[in-house]
Amino acid sequence: MPENTPILEIKDVSYRYENKYRSVNVLDKVNCSFEKGRLYALIGKSGSGKSTLLSLMAGLMLPVGGEVLYEGKPTSSLDLVRYRRENAAVIYQSFRLLPLLTVTENVTYPMELRGVKGRQARKRAEELIKKVDLPENVLHRFPSMLSGGEQQRVAIARALGMEGKLLLADEPTGNLDSDNGARIIELLLSLAHEDGYCVVVVTHDMDIAARADKVFRMRDGRIEEQSEPVKNP
């Protein structure tokens, strides 16, 4: 893919939730694009459509109007299970580590789902755990033995085990104190700027928005404003 070509494009995307009683429009013809090597922040009040947009980017659902394009291909034409395993990793506020698996096993699990075998997967997991600045002595610990900041770093290491360069984070600092939150922000910025990932963060954390390369402010299902960079939002 040529340099500066968006890895992800949102073109006239609309989405609504429906049941037999009512239909609620959540997104209304949203347009935005995302490149590798940058960190983006999606901000806005609860109910503005941020998390729904992130779910569409992640291939957890498809738009009812418009297209989500990954490397120029609409997600509606892709194998979404494979897309989620290999291209679009999601980092959650609640970490979502498997409690009965060790740190190493949590990181290798998604790799093994896509066919990376035992020894190779373990070696890669050790590299990724080191990359997120965790010591070797956590490798055989269980999630309950780790702090919140350490668990989030394990979750990021797990996300890096995919083949693609798209990291989607939903309130990644929401369950962390300010010091651990700051360390996670630095890690995500490093992954974008030094390793070439496209990092998209849904957040209420204005410290993230202040450090982002570009900010999309959402309101009532639309992109109300976009700016770069934001210093004092």
User: What confidence tens digit (pLDDT) does each residue in 132-165 have?
Assistant: 999 999 999 999 999 999 999 999 999 998 878 9
Between CA 206 and CA 117 the distance in angstroms is: 41
Short-list 122, 173, 178, 170, CA closest to 151: 173
pLDDT of 32 above 50: yes
What percentage of the chain carries pLDDT values higher than 70?
96
Do residues 139 and 90 touch, judged by C-beta distance below 8 A?
Answer: no
Between CA 25 and CA 35 the distance in angstroms is: 27
Residue 3 is predicted with a pLDDT of 58
pLDDT of 228 above 80: no
User: What confidence tens digit (pLDDT) does each residue in 41-78 have?
Assistant: 999 998 899 999 999 999 999 999 999 999 999 999 99
Do residues 164 and 197 touch, judged by C-beta distance below 8 A?
Answer: no
Ramachandran region, residue 48 (left: φ > 0; alpha: ψ -120 to 50; beta: rest): alpha
User: What confidence tens digit (pLDDT) does each residue in 93-137 have?
Assistant: 999 999 999 999 999 998 998 888 889 999 999 999 999 999 999
